[in-house]
Each structure stands twice: as structure tokens, then as C-alpha cells.
Structure 1
Amino acid sequence: MFLATGKGLSYQTCASQLPNMKRQWPWLKEVDSIALQSAARNLADGFHRYFKKQNDHPRFKSRKHPVQSYTTRFTNGNIAVKENYIQLPKLGLGRYAKSREIEGKVVSATIRLAPSGKWFVAVVCEVDIQTLPVTDGRLGTDVGIKQLAVTSDGLAIENPRHTMRYEAKLAKWQRIMARRHQGGSNWRKAKQKVASIHERIRNSRMDAIHKQTTTWIRENQTICIEDLRIANMMKNRHLAKHIADASWGEMSRQLHYKAKWYGRTIKEVPTFAPSSQTCHVCGYKHAEVKDLSLRKWTCVSCHTIHDRDSNAAQNIKAMAL
């Protein structure tokens, strides 16, 4: 329809066809009806975003894709958690590994098959989040590669370099997968192993960033960060891998939503502010510090010896406030 008329599909158009489609293809009755409605809503939302030029047009989702998911909404108690069991529509009661207690009013649940072969269920709940007590703490942070972040109070947080820890193991299984016949059972096993290693890297990275951002949010009222253009920085082929592993964008995203939850303030310094080149003591601008290999420098004006990252964190805090 889109290729013929240039118009997208609305939710009402899709939802009105569902009864006829169920009669035509009986296997659709095996699926939760709300899940079908959710798929129709996602399709309509995809067209809406496309016409607003927010993304490309919706594409066909193959059942052979390694990631499969669907969303169902809470209606008349169809989603329930009982100890280590979760009840889902059409699936009934099933045992699952509960990572945390369910709080608040259940709104929906998304069931997803990960490329590693594991099944996950994400339960969305309405919760009243209490703001944290007001503090006097103000923190400036400068992110980096050698150190994940250096703060204005002098704390340097080492970069765990999660990808490097699993790099040899990942390369080994990628070689094994490349040698096997694509589409065969042994190739699929190797592909799943590669996906499992990637999943472990991601989980390790997310765990470290969540712990660090939560600590900053709890201890400080205002957190000052730099507004980085990470997509442009990733064009540097010598640093792209390390920038992606450090996940500065994810750190910023977490700080913003946690600050909104807990009543904190995030202040950003403009992208091209000379935070590394400026002496935070006297304000003298040292242009040669643009060279990333220069880690320590002495201000020619006040003769203060600066560590590059610590000085940048002090300037980010001052400029943002």
C-alpha cells in the first residue's frame, strides 16, 4: 500500500483487519490478541515517524532475525508475578529468574528472544519515585579513554575496558563461525556463542556505568558534563573502538533520566568550550593542549602544573555553573 499510494497505515486500518486475518490464517489465534494490536500500533508509529523524517520507512521483520519480541498490555490481571513465576497471556505460568522485585502498578510486558538464545521479559510499571534529599554537592566530570572519567574533586575512575577483556575469546569464536558453513547447525551454535560474548560485554559495561552514575546522583545536587558530539568523534578510526567501549553517550543518558527522577540538575558545557586548554586558576588559554598526547602542562601565566583531565573537570564545573 505504501509503495502504491505513498501513504502509511494507521492503527485503525490495521486493527480493523485483524478479525478477518484471524479467520484467514488460524495460527494468528495462537497469539495474544493484545500483542497483535501492539504490532499494529508499532507499525502506525513507524509510518508516523517516517513522515516526520525521524527515521526510515518501516521494514519487513523476518522471523529469521536473531532478535524477536512482542509487547502485551496488562488487562484484567492477565500479567501477574508470583514468587519466581510470571503469568503471561496465552503462555500461562512460567518460571523465570527474577532480577528485582516488581513494584507499583503493572502496565505492560515485553517478551524478547536475544541473539544469545536467552528469553527476557521486561515488565513496565507505574511507580511513584521519591526525590532524594537536597545536598550542596556540585560535581564536574570530564570523560576520557585512559580514565573513564575524572571529577572536579580529584577522583579518577579507571576505564574497565570491557571489550579488551573478552577480545581474544571473541576473535576465536568469530574465526570458528567464519570457517563453518553459513546456515548450518554448527554455524548457528558458533553465532550464538559470539552473541553470548557480546551480551556479556554489554552487561558488564552497563553494570559499571549504572553503579557510577547512581553514585554521582546520590552524592551531588548538580552534575556538570560536556556536551560531546560522539558521532563525529567516532569517525576517528584510531579511537572509535575505545570511544564505543567507554560508552559516554550511555553515561550521559543515564545521568539525565536519573536526575529527572531524583530531583537533581544536569548542566552541560557547549561542545567546543576550551575546557582542556584553559587554566582553571588564572584563565590563561594554552592552545598547544589541543594535542591529545599532552597529558600534563604548566601554565605560562601562573606557573600552575596541570593534569589535563583534572583541569578539564574543574573548567567544566566552572563553565556550567
Structure 2
Amino acid sequence: MGISMNKLALRILDRVLSNTDLYKVKVHRYPCGATVVDAGVETMGSMDMGIELSKISLGGLARVDLTVRRYDELALPCVIVYTDYPIEACLLSQLAGWRIADENFYALGSGPARALARKPKKWYEEFQYHETSDEAVLVLETDRLPPDRVLVKVAEACGISPKNLYVVVTSFNSVTGTIQVSARVVETGLYRLRYLGFDLRKVITASGACPVAPPCPNYNLMFAKTNDMIAYGGETYYVVDCDDSEIAAIIEKAPFTNSKYSGRLMYDIFSEVNFDLYKLDPSVFAVALVQITNRRTSKVFYSGRVDVYMLKRSLSFTPEK
């Protein structure tokens, strides 16, 4: 593909850097030369920044909008995502596939910088994707700003100068952070399809919708609530080109609401692995409802449902002290 996700993401970020007050972010220039945008760690961020950060994490290859939906009597903000580049945008950019850890710092890394560092390598080999760029844009989900030495290591992994590294940092319990997690709904659905053995090269377009959890102070609790929104409220719609039998083989297993974990809150599930995303059973990552339309036959397959009861449980849940 002749499109650079890092360059597209940087165009979006440039708009943010020119309007920091509007987006309610703070910019830090690090000793190594890297630029760090605080969009939800020491700031609360904003809804607009949540949308822009979602686009950045998708490598500039997707549209992201925000609306409001009703779930029975409950009304919640809802993120709408759609892309014509599902593999590149969702799996090779947005997926939190880069674990970044250094002494007292830990973060989930996503965004187009992953394509330069090829994290994890197997994804880029599988889809035969290669990108070169002298600038990199990385998204970090964490509860603190990164130390300078971490940024130096990131730049080295990307093969660029630290002065050309741009990092946007956000926390799950910020306005920005909760929106960008819900915007991972399409990516989560694709991850599940791949886990079930479906060839993602046959996906033509992808779209989805997901409610947004209201922010709360507890970092781990918010981590869980944002993922409850995807598991019990996330809807995904894919257009594919394949044999109907390939869809029929996986459609009933695709949604979270048909999984062995259905009926449990993510706080309970995540607690079992001390909230380490990379230790979770991969089958945890799924959305509430999956609909697949086969372009070849015009047949529509769907499975799962939005579970309003579990959404309400999640929003009202507080862990025992």
C-alpha cells in the first residue's frame, strides 16, 4: 500500500498541536527531542480529542464519529467507526500490540508507530505489510507520562530520530481515554474473527458502534468498564467476499454474548490476571453483536445481541474494598 499511516496520523496530530487549548491537552518536549501529548493523564482531555485520538490510533485510515444512543431508558454516548482498510487501520495500527515496560512504567502501545517497529512481528509478516517513515506516531494507554529513556528506546525500535517521535498518552479514566477504547470495537471484532480462523484478507469494509463508559477515578475499574462496553454493547458490521460456508463456520462463535465469559463483568475477569492485558485468554476479546454480509452471495449472517442488563450492571458496579 502506497499510503503511510504515520504520515496520515501526523496530519491529524498537527491539527491537535495547533489547537491545544481547544482539545484540552498539554504538550511536553522531552530532553531526547520527542514530543509527548498528554491527552488524559495529567489532563482530562476532551470528547473532541477522544475522536481525534481514535483516528490517530487507526492510522488515519478510518472515520470516527460520536453520537448518543438509548439502551432502554439508559442514554449513552456512542462511538461510530468505519473503514475501508480494516486490516491496516485496525490490526496493523490500532491494536494494542506493543507492550512497553520499564521499571516503574507500563503502557499498552498502539498506533502506526507499531508498523515501523513491527510489533508484534507476526502480524506484519502474516499480512505482508511494510511501511517506511522518518516520523512515527505512537499511542500509549497508561496512568503516567513516560520517562525519557522509554522514548529513546521506542525511537530506536522504529528506526527514527527521537526528535521525530510523537507520542500521545491517555488514561482509561479520562474523557479522551474512554472514547478511544470504545473506538476499538471494529478492531476487537476482527481480532475475534482471526482467532476463529477466518481469513481477514476477505474483509472488504468494516464498521461498528459502541457505547462509551462515563469516566471514573479508579484506573483498573475504568479499564474493565470500557471493555464491558465493547463486550456487551459493541456492534460490528463487515462486508466480505468468500464462500458462505466460511462465514457459517464461525458466526455463532464470534460474539462475546455467545462465549463462556458471557454474564461476567470484565473487572472479575481482569482481576484473575492482575489486569495484565497480555495474560488474558484471547477468547475474552469479542463484541456483543456481529453481522457479516457476503458480497458474493448477498447473504447476511448475524449472531449475538446487545446485553443492556450487563451494560447497566457494569455502569453501577463498584468493587468491594
Tell me whether the two structures share a fold, i.e. TM-score over 0.5. no
Specify the structure having the higher radius of gyration (Cα). 1
Structure 1 length-normalised TM: 0.22
Structure 2 length-normalised TM: 0.22
